[in-house]
Amino acid sequence: MEIKEIQENFVKDLEQTKSKEDIVNLKIKYLGKKSALYTSLRSLGTLDAEKRKVQGANLNKLKSEIEEKLKAQELALAGVKKGRQIDLTEPGEKFQLGHIHPITQIYEELFEIGKSLGFSIAEGPEIETDWYSFEALNIPKNHPARDFADTFYISEEVNLRPHTSNVQIRYMEDHKPPIRIIVYGRTYRKDSDVTHTPMFHQLEGLFVDDRVTFADLKGVLTTFAQGIFGKDRKVRFRPHHFPFTEPSAEVDVSCGLCGGKGCRSCKYSGWLEILGAGMVHPNVLKNSGIDPKKYQGFAFGMGIERIAMLKYGTDDLRLFYDNDLRFLEQF
């Protein structure tokens, strides 16, 4: 059968296709081993070199055309929607890909810094007893943090943890020093405004051994601060009071907008508060079953949302939870 005849017959048959099965049948008829095209290709060996070259090129060209037209017809049949055939020349639909939430991004950065310093990752329950949330942490009964106006109580002895420090106590009960962990997770307090939400995220660090000093704490926190905000940022420690650490300090990082000179963002102080820290109080070690005369330790804790706000220059914490893609896509 001549090439022109094969081509004309194929065009007529292609116009009659109405289903995927018709396409399959045409593939067999025109490209199968019993097809006229296949027979012609096999007979090329009987021709002289010059004719074989010309005839082979023409047959291969016809084969490619048949394959392309069959594929196009198959796509066209699959694209029939609501009585309208799709235009195969139109650009395809662009699908929007998801990305990591900025809070998770901050967590992952902190995890990497912690791991580089030898810290392992720990987590624990969000519903906690009064002992692990307060008593074991040397927080007295009359402390404001234990008030019903501040803490979510399920019962008198059970609450939604107001911090991740409960995991520190649980970990020290089950492990002997040396202990070097990072604790993370959701925490809950009755507070809601542009810088607070009832549910928020924390990350804490704990290091307990027989030779741990405040100098070790300063070195670790400087590494964390500069790892998140940049190596050019300065870090300072201010005396403070926390029931579970002694001595205690609040830690600031120099303002990135003004370089520490003072601006509206840092309230013209040149510094931004990022976390609280201190040496673990002997009573906390004792409550966890660790001898405070033999071991010392330091602990620190930070709010992930606050770190994200300072890093990304956001003035309203609630934006991280409004799920507005216009905001989240910036990160």
Average pLDDT of the chain is 88
Give the chain's residues under pLDDT 70: 1, 79-88, 194-195
Task: Report pLDDT for 81.
Answer: 46
Amino acid identity for residue 102 in this structure? P
Task: Report pLDDT for 79.
Answer: 63
- Give the start-to-end residue ranges of the domains of the chain: 3-78, 102-328
Q: CATH homologous superfamily for 102-328? A: Bira Bifunctional Protein; Domain 2 (3.30.930.10)
Q: Give the integer Cα–Cα distance in Å for 30 and 41.
A: 12
Do the Cβ atoms of 136 and 284 come closer than 8 Å? Answer: yes
Q: What percentage of residues in the chain have a pLDDT greater than 70?
A: 96
Amino acid identity for residue 295 in this structure? Y
Task: Report pLDDT for 1.
Answer: 61
Indicate yes or no: pTM above 0.75.
Answer: no
Nearest to 107 by CA among 180, 203, 186: 203
- Contacts of residue 19, defined as CB under 8 A and 6 or more positions apart, other chains included, come to 77
Structure tokens at 203: 């990350």
Task: Report pLDDT for 312.
Answer: 87
Residue keyed to tokens 């990752």: 121
Task: Report pLDDT for 86.
Answer: 61
